[in-house]
């Protein structure tokens, strides 16, 4: 399923299918029965692995996937067993258009260049491209501007026989914060102006879709026909603020309905005594202030364990929190295990996840490294094995 090197890697990831089912159940309860959920699997499925996430999501009933680029789209196609729909939000090369169109893979069209090429290729092939017309409403990255509307409408009119108007979409800038309410409201208004203009020109789309996780959860008017769910599907709140905004609506018994899927584990490689006054690791960033016992864990920045966690990261060993001492090196960290009774080589080490009732969350990492959840997850290297658990 996943191409792995020979031999046993230094750490492993477990991805919980049960947690995903719970997250989808919660999102479904928020959006009602009708809207389609598109599982956003860009960035190697936010680090969870595209192959694993396609399997887990299809088992949970998902039949629509969003990727950033065409290479990810083909990976989804390879691992999909339920003929799920695929939509590319970002990058593709012109040379790939014929194959993508033939495969029925939909894609965003955000400028006249791509629109014209999609029309030309569709006409040449005699196969209609599934296009999602992206509107600029305030994110200022990609999308047709309001000033483009007349030209856009006339081109789409001409192209109607050659392409399928699969979606009309936009992306919000700042839906993760209630304080951006005015900005998001403006974006919604611009979107509806566009939609009305196109409708008046007899241009109707199969699906109107605008919402990412944050918009879905805190701006329900953005839900429409489909929601594009990334981070919430993986069990994380887009921001603390989105969680607090929802908290009051949540049932008491289930204060956090989003469950983390990912667990990241390694094991103790070696155990070492350090005398008071000795420096640990490269340089002099850490000096032992007492006699210490250290465990060396074979995970470093080359494995996605950020260097910014030097002298601050925490892991779990024997159900206890243990702090990283010294700098994170390419392939290893040293952690203080002086407070543990008995540490053995190959004892389990948890970098993210639970152990004997204690937990290291991704959020606790992110605070100490200034990385958001998204970044830490997507930086987990592809060659760490990812195993689906229930
Ligand atoms: C990444 C992305 C999403 C998903 O965002 P989350 O905040 O992870 O839910 C939705 N739409 C577009 C266009 C995106 O690029």
Q: Are strands 12-16 and 262-267 parallel, antiparallel or unpaired?
A: antiparallel
Residue 228 has pLDDT above 80, yes or no: yes
Domains of the chain, residue spans: 17-247, 262-360
Q: Are 291 and 273 a contacting pair, CB within 8 Å? A: yes
Pick the CATH number of 17-247 from 3.10.290.10, 3.90.1170.50, 3.90.1150.110, 3.20.20.10: 3.20.20.10
- DSSP characters for 355-373? ETTEEE-HHHHHHHHT--H
Over range 320-332, report the average pLDDT: 95
Q: Which of 68-72, 179-183, 304-308, 373-377 has the lowest mean pLDDT?
A: 373-377
Maximum Cα–Cα distance across the chain: 79
Categorize the per-residue pLDDT at 15 as very low, low, confident or very high, splitting at 50, 70 and 90. very high
Residue 298 has pLDDT above 70, yes or no: yes
| Ligand 1 geometric centre to CA of 219 (Å) | 15
42 tagged catalytic: yes
Categorize the per-residue pLDDT at 271 as very low, low, confident or very high, splitting at 50, 70 and 90. very high
Q: Which of 111-115, 286-290, 307-311, 371-375 has the lowest mean pLDDT?
A: 371-375
Binding-site residue positions for substrate: 141, 330
Residue 340 has pLDDT above 90, yes or no: yes
Report the mean per-residue pLDDT for the chain.
93
Active-site option among 18, 181, 282, 356: 282
What pLDDT does 221 receive? 96
Query: How many helices (H) and strands (E) are present in the chain, helices listed first?
Result: 12, 18
Residue that is written with structure tokens 């109607």 in the block: 160
Q: How far apart are CA 112 and CA 203, in angstroms?
A: 17
Residue 106 has pLDDT above 90, yes or no: yes
- DSSP code for 39: E
Over range 221-240, report the average pLDDT: 93
Residue 366 has pLDDT above 90, yes or no: no
| Ligand 1 geometric centre to CA of 138 (Å) | 15
What pLDDT does 251 receive? 73
What pLDDT does 207 receive? 98
From start to end of the chain, where are the E strands?
Answer: 12-16, 36-40, 64-69, 85-91, 106-109, 129-134, 163-169, 207-211, 226-229, 262-267, 270-274, 292-297, 314-317, 320-325, 333-336, 348-355, 358-360, 386-389
pLDDT tens digit sequence for 26-44: 999 999 999 999 999 999 9
Over range 86-105, report the average pLDDT: 98
What pLDDT does 365 receive? 64
Q: How far apart are CA 130 and CA 335, in angstroms?
A: 52
Tell me the pTM.
Answer: 0.94
What pLDDT does 181 receive? 87
What pLDDT does 1 receive? 56
pLDDT higher at 176 or 171: 171
Q: Are 372 and 242 a contacting pair, CB within 8 Å? A: no
What pLDDT does 206 receive? 98
- Mutational pocket test of ligand 1: of 38, 41, 45, 66, the residue with most ligand atoms within 8 Å of the beta carbon: 66
Angle ∠(353,357,360) on CA atoms, nearest 5: 30
Categorize the per-residue pLDDT at 60 as very low, low, confident or very high, splitting at 50, 70 and 90. very high
The C-alpha R_g of the chain, in whole angstroms, comes to 24
Residue 173 has pLDDT above 90, yes or no: no
Over range 199-204, report the average pLDDT: 98
- Closest ligand 1 atom to the C-alpha of 46? 8
Q: How far apart are CA 161 and CA 139, in angstroms?
A: 31
Over range 15-28, report the average pLDDT: 98
**CATH superfamily of the domain spanning 262-360:** Lyase, Ornithine Decarboxylase; Chain A, domain 1 (2.40.37.10)
Categorize the per-residue pLDDT at 250 as very low, low, confident or very high, splitting at 50, 70 and 90. confident
Return the number of other C-beta atoms located less than 10 Å from residue 80's C-beta.
18
- Report the share of the chain in percent with pLDDT over 70: 96
| Ligand 1 geometric centre to CA of 214 (Å) | 9
User: At CB < 8 A and 24+ separation, what contacts does 289-294 make?
Assistant: 290/338, 291/338, 292/325, 292/336, 292/338, 293/336, 293/337, 293/338, 293/340, 293/343, 294/325, 294/334, 294/335, 294/336, 294/337
- Report the share of the chain in percent with pLDDT over 90: 79
Dihedrals phi, psi of 36, to nearest 5 degrees: -75, 140
What pLDDT does 254 receive? 64
Residue 367 has pLDDT above 70, yes or no: no
Say if residue 200 is exposed, middle or buried (CB neighbours under 10 Å; 0-12, 13-18, 19+). Answer: exposed
Q: Are 282 and 327 a contacting pair, CB within 8 Å? A: yes
SS3 163: strand
Measuring CA to CA, how many Å separate 323 from each of 276, 291, 326, 335, 357?
17, 15, 10, 5, 18
Over range 60-64, report the average pLDDT: 98
Instruction: Report residues whose beta carbon is within 6 angstroms of any ligand 1 atom.
Output: 40, 42, 89, 171, 212-214, 228-232, 238
Q: How far apart are CA 352 and CA 355, in angstroms?
A: 10
Residue that is written with structure tokens 């499925």 in the block: 45
pLDDT higher at 15 or 360: 15
SS3 315: strand
């Amino acid at each position: 399923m996943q191409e792995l090197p020979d031999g046993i890697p230094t750490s492993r990831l477990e991805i919980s299918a049960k947690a995903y089912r719970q997250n989808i159940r919660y999102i479904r309860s928020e959006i009602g029965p009708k809207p389609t959920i598109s599982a956003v699997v860009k960035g190697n499925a936010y680090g969870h692995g595209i192959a694993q996430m396609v399997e887990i999501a299809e088992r949970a009933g998902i039949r629509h996937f969003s990727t950033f680029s065409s290479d990810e789209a083909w990976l989804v196609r390879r691992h999909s067993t339920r003929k799920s729909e695929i939509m590319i939000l970002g990058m593709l090369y012109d040379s790939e258009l014929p194959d993508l169109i033939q495969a029925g893979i939909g894609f965003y069209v955000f400028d006249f260049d791509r629109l014209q090429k999609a029309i030309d290729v569709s006409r040449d092939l005699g196969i209609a491209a599934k296009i999602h017309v992206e509107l600029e409403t305030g994110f200022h990255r990609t999308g047709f501007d309001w000033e483009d509307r007349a030209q856009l409408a006339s081109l789409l009119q001409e192209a109607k026989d050659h392409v399928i108007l699969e979606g009309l979409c936009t992306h919000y800038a700042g839906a993760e914060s209630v304080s951006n309410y005015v900005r998001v409201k403006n974006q919604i208004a611009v979107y509806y102006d566009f939609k009305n203009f196109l409708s008046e020109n007899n241009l109707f789309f199969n699906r109107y879709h605008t919402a990412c996780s944050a918009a879905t959860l805190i701006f329900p008017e953005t839900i429409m026909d489909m929601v594009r769910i990334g981070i919430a599907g993986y069990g994380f709140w887009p921001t603390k603020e989105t969680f607090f905004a929802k908290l009051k609506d949540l049932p008491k018994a289930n204060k956090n309905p989003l469950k983390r899927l990912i667990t990241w584990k390694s094991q103790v490689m070696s155990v070492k005594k350090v005398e008071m006054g000795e420096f640990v690791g490269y340089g002099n960033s850490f000096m032992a202030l007492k006699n210490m016992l250290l465990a060396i864990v074979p995970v470093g920045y080359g494995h996605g364990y950020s260097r910014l966690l030097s002298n601050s990261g925490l892991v779990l060993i024997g159900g206890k929190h243990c702090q990283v001492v010294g700098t994170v090196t390419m392939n290893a960290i040293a952690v203080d295990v002086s407070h543990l009774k008995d540490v053995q080589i190959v004892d389990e080490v948890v970098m993210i996840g639970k152990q004997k009732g204690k937990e290291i969350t991704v959020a606790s990492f992110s605070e100490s490294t200034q990385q958001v959840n998204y970044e830490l997850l997507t930086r987990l290297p592809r060659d760490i094995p990812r195993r689906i658990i229930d």
